[in-house]
Amino acid sequence: MSEVKKFLYVNRKAPYGTIYAQEALEVVLIGAAFDQDVSLAFLDDGVFQLTKGQDTKDAGLKNFSPTFRALGDYEVTKLYVEQESLDERGLTLDDLQDIQYEDEDDDYEEKPSIIVVSRAGMADVMADQDVVLSF
């Protein structure tokens, strides 16, 4: 099995209120070992997963948001974020965590993993996949 498939993990739900975001991330981390062409999509309430400053201590929940910054170490480097979803929620790129990866093909230069796309751009990303897993 050397076939490489394009996997897209679609995140449309906010973190913490339900477990979907957290368990989606667990799939992404395990999936990284399979050397497939992996992308993540964040749209609708899914963009809330990436906000910085999440502090779950007083709520008594596990804060899994730092894991997003570790994705680069797993060679998961394409996090598509929808501009319209940010706009609708009054968010800008500055409200999101600074997520980077080291590009081994470019002298390990640190590059941003977040790719902001329009709704039409997101539709193009979705239509270019072999496997779409939604959470």
Partner 1 sequence: MSTLHTVNKSPFQNQTLISCLGHAKAGDSVLLMEDGVYGAMSGNAMSEVVAGMGANVKLFVLGSDVTARGIDAGRVAEGITSVNYEEFVGMAASCDRVQNWL
Partner 2 sequence: MKFGIVVSEGPYTHQASDSAYNFVKAALATGHEVSRVFFYHDGVNVGTRLSIPPQDDRQIQEQWSALAKEHELDLVICIAAAQRRGLLDQNEADRQGKDANNIAEGFRISGLGQLIEMGIQADRTITFGD
The footprint of partner 2 on this chain (CB under 8 A) covers a number of residues equal to 19
Q: From the CB of 11, what's the least distance to partner 2, in Å?
A: 13
Stretch that binds partner 2, among 27-35, 64-72, 74-82, 90-98 (CB under 8 A): 27-35
Among partner 2, partner 1, none, the one that 76 touches (CB under a kind-dependent 5 to 8 A) is none
Distance CA 30, CA 24 (A): 10
- Cβ atoms within 10 A of the Cβ of 1, count? 4
Task: Pull the structure tokens for residue 115.
Answer: 């790719």
Is 122 near partner 1 (CB under 8 A)? yes
Please report, as residue ranges, which positions from 59 to 88 form the binding site for partner 1 (by CB under 8 A): none
Question: Is the alpha carbon torsion for 106, 111, 114, 116 positive or negative?
Answer: negative
For partner 2, the closer of residues 10 and 96 by Cβ is 10
For partner 2, the closer of residues 1 and 120 by Cβ is 1
Contacts of 64 (CB under 8 A, 6+ apart): 15, 21, 22, 25
Distance CA 128, CA 106 (A): 26
List C-alpha distances in Å: 80 to 32, 55, 104, 126: 17, 24, 20, 10
Q: From the CB of 127, what's the least distance to partner 2, in Å?
A: 15
Residues that bind partner 2 (CB under 8 A): 1, 3, 5, 7, 19-20, 23, 26-27, 30-31, 33-34, 36, 131-135
